[in-house]
Amino acid sequence: MSGAVDDGDDVYLGCESCGLVSRDVTGDDPGLVQHCSRCGHVLHATKPFSLQRTWACIVAAAVLYIPANTLPVMETTSALQRDEHTLLGGIHELWLDGSWALAVIVFIASIAVPVLKIGVLALLAWTVRRHPDWRRLERARLYRLIETVGHWSMLDVYVVVLLAATVRFGPLASVSTGAGLLSFAAVVVLTLLATWSFDPRLIWRDPPATPTPRDGRRLA
Amino acid sequence: MGRVEGSLVVCGQCGLAHRWQPLPETSQARCTRCDAVLARAHRLSIQGILALTVAAAAAYVVAISAPLMSLSLRGGAETATLMQAIAIAWQEGQQPIAILAGITALLAPAAFIGLRLYVLVPLAAGNKPPGFAWCVRALHQAARWNMVEVFTVGVLLSLVRLAGLAETSPQAGLFALGALTALFAAIESAGLKHLWWHVQ
């Protein structure tokens, strides 16, 4: 177990790379940059331009999410016909084939995770400015959740690449990648970058509007 | 070797500083404010991580070069390796997809293993390798972009999806990927910051 340190106004900075803790000596001067004395990594109380970068990435991801879902991600050719499959269409086919478990896995990875990431990050970035003291612990947990599940949305990209690489029997049966796959891959990368741009320390910044007794003592 | 009692630990998730107290075996310390994991008690030795990394290097070589699965349809048969799958995506005009798959399933795992070997071999002998700080930072990035576990599930999913169309069978590369996923999980459980405790 370890106990929290309450050292008044002194701010400690933990190095993201090596974990060494330094006292913040930059004060409020935004022009000063402090480096870790052990490994030389830049130390920030919060990542610079975190909210701006997060918003930029989630807006771009939300826009690209439209072609990712409307354009086909995969094209299949068989002796009888040529088909185009969208993300949702592919899941629907799996469901009709009776592969419910597979349909659920692909639905979670391709639809639920990207939507969850865009929605949660928009909520987190919005509440940092508008409702800083609303359910901080739950928001911190939400961030950790999307940080953990984030890269699973790559699943369908891999599946289409693998199917295109193995199903190569010419006109008899072949699979190739569709135009929508590029948009979908861009959504995956942008939501990952958005997650890494957001600084969860922002959730805990700005003390509550109504001062608690402890804050009152510190001000006195 | 480990953290000194009474030294400071800052929560990476919320920035709150904690005074360190030793942990009981196999437990973990959590941040008193945001409940994120601050540290885990049980850690592998440098030699232990080195052994796992050597095993991961062997699994990686098999995983990228051996066929992942084979597919046979009316006399014709196709196998695919990871390298071939990326090359085919490139040839079909999907270069960005090929690059993304190459970074997440090929390069990031290679950096994950290669940089660890470069750092751990001298550390096990008690020396600090040149460029140590840069390597640790690069290892953080490699861990972020490494998606071998997702790729492994992707191969399994492709196998199941193709089972209705033709005769499919898993090949050596898929088993190597499974081993690699497990080894990476074990190596990552040790984290990276502890590497600095072994450097003066």
Provide block-wise average pLDDT over 10 residues at a time, chain B (200 residues).
74 86 77 86 82 96 94 82 93 92 96 96 91 93 95 93 84 95 92 81
Residue at token pair 């109380």? A45
In whole angstroms, how far apart are CA A135 and each of A60, A176, B167? 27, 46, 53
Q: Are B67 and B173 in contact (CB under 8 A)?
A: yes
Count of domains forming chain A? 2
Q: Which residues in chain B touch residue A166, judged by CB atoms under 8 angstroms apart?
A: 69, 71, 78-80, 85, 158, 162
Q: How far A98 CA sits from the closest chain B CA (Å)?
A: 11
Q: Which candidate in B37, B88, B136, B194 is best for mutational testing of the A interface (most A CBs within 10 A)?
A: B88
Tell me if A214 is assigned to some domain: no
Q: Do B14 and A168 touch (CB under 8 A)?
A: no
Is residue A11 located within the same domain as residue A114? no
Please indicate, yes or no, whether residues A60 and A141 belong to a single structural domain of this protein. Answer: yes
* CB nearest A166 (choices: B33, B71, B160): B71
Are A161 and B157 in contact, with CB atoms under 8 Å apart?
no
d(CA B9, CA A5): 10
- Judgement on whether residues A129 and A185 belong to the same structural domain of the protein: yes
What's the first-to-final CA gap in chain B, in angstroms? 12
Do A165 and A88 lie in one domain? The reply is yes
Domain range enclosing A34: 4-45
Going by C-alpha positions, the residue among A203, A186, A188 that lies closest to residue A149 is A188
**Per-residue burial over A108-145, b = 16 or more CB atoms within 10 Å of its CB, e = otherwise:** ebbbebbebbbebbbebbebbeeebeeebeebbebbbe
pLDDT in single tens digits along all 220 residues of chain A: 456 676 555 678 888 888 888 888 877 677 788 899 888 898 888 888 899 999 999 999 999 999 999 999 998 888 788 888 899 998 998 898 888 888 999 999 999 999 999 999 999 999 988 888 888 899 999 999 999 998 899 999 999 999 998 888 877 888 888 889 999 999 999 999 999 999 998 898 866 554 444 444 443 3
A12 and A68 together in one domain: no
Instruction: State how far the Cα of A184 lies from the Cα of A159, in Å rounded to an integer.
Output: 13
Nearest to A1 among B21, B78, B192 (CB): B21
Same domain, A180 and A73: yes
Instruction: Say if A215 falls within a structural domain.
Output: no
- Scanning chain A, the segments in alpha helix (DSSP H) are 50-70, 87-96, 100-107, 113-130, 136-149, 155-166, 179-197, 213-219
Parallel, antiparallel, or unpaired: how do β-strands B76-80 and B69-73 relate? antiparallel
- The model's pTM: 0.89
The total of other beta-carbon atoms located within 10 Å of residue B86's CB is 22
